Amino acid sequence: MSDSSCISIGLLLFPALTQLDLTGPYEVFARAPHTNVHLIWKNMKPVIADRGMAILPTVTFDTCPALDVICIPGGPGQINLMEDEETLSFIRRQSEQAKFVTSVCTGSLVLGAAGLLQGYQATTHWASLQQLALLGAEPVNARVVRDRNRITGAGVTSGIDFALNVVAEIYGDNIAQNIQLHMEYEPEPPFSSGSPRTASAERLKQAKDQIAPLIEKRRLMTVKAASNLSKN
Quick check: 42 and 12 in contact, CB under 8 A? no
Tell me the one-letter amino acid at 135.
L
Q: How far apart are CA 224 and CA 121, in angstroms?
A: 21
Quick check: 114 and 66 in contact, CB under 8 A? no
90-94, long-range: CB < 8 A, 24+ apart: 90/40, 90/61, 90/64, 91/12, 91/116, 92/116, 94/10, 94/64, 94/66, 94/67, 94/70
Is-catalytic flag, 64?
no
Q: Single out the catalytic residue among 6, 64, 71, 105.
A: 105
Active site positions, annotated: 105
